[in-house]
Amino acid sequence: MNETEFYTHLLALPNGASYMHYLEKRYLLRKETLLGGKLLKLYAKELGGNDIVSGNYYPTMKGGMLKPCEMSDKKVMDFVLHAKLI
């Protein structure tokens, strides 16, 4: 999974807090890169709504492993691929 479009987009997201636009809604994204790049944490909360997107990505495990938090892989991947920085 490391050489995928998903991983490229995930790396391009800035660390820290950022405002994002996704599916015509605004989100506050928090991204952290930990353990020397061996863990990327992602948490996005819809502003004024109830939706969240959350997951951990381990680029060095099994060629890259996504572990979403209580949601589908597809939801996290779609957010990373299609959300735009505001």
pLDDT digit string, tens, across residues 62-85: 888 999 999 999 999 999 999 999
Whether the pLDDT of residue 2 is over 80: the answer is no
What's residue 62's pLDDT? 84
The DSSP symbol for 37 reads: G
Residue 3, pLDDT score: 58
Return the beta strands (E) in the chain as ranges.
Answer: 16-22, 25-34, 39-46, 52-58, 65-68, 84-85
Residue 60 has pLDDT above 60, yes or no: yes
